[in-house]
Structures are given as structure tokens and as C-alpha cells.
Amino acid sequence: MVTVEDLRWWLTLAEKVEWTFARTYAESAPHSYVVLDRTAGMTRDDFVRAAHVIHTFGQPAKFYSMTSIYLTSPDGRLKWWTMDEDLDDTNLINQATTERLYGVQNAPSTASGIRTPYDGSATRYDEQHPITDAEVRALMELVAPLKSEYPTSVLDVGCGTGRVLDLGLTTPDRYAGVDPSRPMLNMLVRKYPSVGRIYPTTIEQALADGAFTPGQFEIVTAYDSADGLDRATVAALATLASRAAIVRRDGQLELIG
């Protein structure tokens, strides 16, 4: 679990360690870094811990066409990011000032202002809940009659880290996800930087705000669970789908509409 105490730890450590200026990028992208085995006061566990902190409390931003998760210091002066595909392989952390931006800043916002029970485990959610072959077969069999030759437009409610995308139901550009957990959405954007749209809020609030129109999506999913949704909300989800809604209730997937 990643907690606020871990964030405080990193903010304190980042002030103490010696950052090396990246001379190669002095003109094009000035920044500094700490690297494993060459930075005193940081162990491999520290690098991994910091990576999970950055991706839990950070936000997506752009470096030209590249999307990364950046953690900004409380005073708004500094930002940190990592570049390893697996957070547990992190051996280098970058630091730069925030006043200089690179390219159009059109990365999706994941900030919801809502704390959820999933926040602290988001960066390890996928490894703790691996996808099984049976899970893939069950979903594909259910949606087979609904699919066409083109990628399906999908609204994924309680999308988390993007499990519906992991399962191959559609492509990122045809996908929209709703979830109130910023860390979970950070991990989704990290995996799928070209995701069509994310809504960092609850589905109830999104519906109240009129975020969607009837039949806007071909399929609407509440894949992880609809048990926490009331009947009126589930019924509303069905109206947003031109083909069907897929919900999980009592551990079973079912079609509505």
C-alpha cells in the first residue's frame, strides 16, 4: 500500500540527495537525475518505493508526444518522473523545474479530488489481479454477437487501470473510462496514453452532470462490479448503450438491453 507517509518520505528524501545535472540535455530538455549505485543515500528499494509514490500521487503530462506521470512538489516548483516500463525495475528518477513545458499539454486529467479504497494499491493492482484465460473467454463469448468489423465504442464504468482494454474488448481510441481513483486512472493512462477519454469522477456524478447522451456508446460496461450501483444507475447505463450494457453482479457477467 502506498500512503501519504510514503509521499512525505519521498519529498524529504528528494531534498537531501544529490541530483546530477543531465549535461547532454542542457539545451533541449534541462533536468537532473538520481541513479542507482551512483547516488549516495538511495537503495534499490528506495527507487522502487519512489516510483510507486510518483505514480500514485502524480498526474499525466506530455513531453511532446510522450505521456508520463509526473509528481509535482507541494510548492509547485519541481516535478519528478520515471521511465521504466515496470515500476519495480526503476533505477533512475528524473527531476526538473515546472516552468518549462514541452509540446501541447493535452494529456488527460486524472484528478478527481476523491479518495477511494483502491488508491493505495493502484500501482500493484494488475499484478495482484492477473487476467486469466477463462476471463478472456467469458467476456469474448458474451460480446461476440454485439461486435462488428470495426472497433467498438465502449464506456467503461469503474474502469480502474483499464481491464476492459487489457481484455481486448476495444481499442484505446474508442474507449472512455469513468473512475474516481486518480492512482488507478494514472495506471490506465500509463498503459494506454492514447485513451479516448477518461472521466475522473463517480458514475453517479457523471450522470447527474449530463456527461453522456442516450446511445452514445455501442457497449457500456460495469465490468469489475455493478453490485455497488443502485438499480436506477444500472438502468441509466443501459440507456447509454446502443447495443447492450455488460455488468457483473454476484460475480457473474450479464447483458442488459
pLDDT tens per residue, range 23-48: 999 999 999 999 999 999 999 999 99
Whole-structure pTM value = 0.95
How is domain 119-256 classified at the CATH fold level?
A: Rossmann fold (3.40.50)
In this prediction, residue 151 carries a pLDDT of: 85
**Torsion over CA: 246, 168, 214, 244 (sign):** negative
Q: Which residues contact 229 (CB under 8 A, 6 or more apart)?
A: 157, 203, 222, 237, 247
Residue ranges per structural domain of the chain? 4-97, 119-256
Q: Which of 192, 199, 186, 201 is nearest to 71 (CA)?
A: 186
Per-residue model confidence as pLDDT tens digits over 134-189: 988 988 888 888 877 778 999 999 999 999 999 999 999 999 999 999 999 999 99
- Would you say residue 257 has pLDDT above 80? no
